[in-house]
């Protein structure tokens, strides 16, 4: 797989992650806690894909490094909020676990990419 092919498939994967998480958030019960969690998770899940796209368009190694650092940070934040959802027993367990697994896989992949672009 070429870099361009990987970037295309990973852009799709991160977009699907965001869409899946946003759809899942609509199934949570509505209360003060879930409103806060949903807002934070929606921001971080959508930021993963948006910043990976920016990474792909980076004009320099430094710019790419900066963007992939944000992706790593946001994927880690997704994992955090999903852990909170799991611990508070919100949502369908299989869905929560699916998104946790995906967030961790995205995090690990982007951490490897970050290492390659490290100054």
Homologous superfamily in CATH for domain 3-117: 23S rRNA-intervening sequence (1.20.1440.60)
Taking a C-beta distance cutoff of 8 angstroms, is the pair 90, 28 a contact? yes
pTM passes above 0.75: yes
Structure tokens at 37: 């969690």
pLDDT at residue 119 is higher than 90: no
Give the tens place of pLDDT for each residue, 34-72: 999 999 999 999 999 999 999 999 999 999 999 999 999
Total number of residues shown for the chain: 119
End-to-end Cα distance, the chain: 25
C-alpha span between 22 and 8 (Å, rounded)? 21
């Amino acid at each position: 797989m070429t870099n361009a092919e990987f970037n295309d498939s990973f852009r799709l994967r991160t977009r699907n992650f965001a869409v899946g998480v946003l759809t899942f958030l609509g199934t949570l019960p509505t209360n003060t806690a879930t409103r806060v969690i949903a807002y934070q998770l929606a921001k971080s899940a959508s930021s993963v894909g948006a910043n990976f796209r920016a990474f792909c368009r980076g004009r320099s190694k430094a710019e790419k490094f900066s963007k992939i650092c944000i992706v790593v940070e946001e994927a880690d934040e997704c994992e955090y909020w999903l852990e909170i959802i799991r611990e508070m027993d919100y949502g369908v367990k299989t869905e929560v676990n699916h998104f946790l697994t995906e967030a961790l896989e995205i995090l690990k992949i982007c951490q490897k990419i970050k290492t390659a672009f490290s100054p």
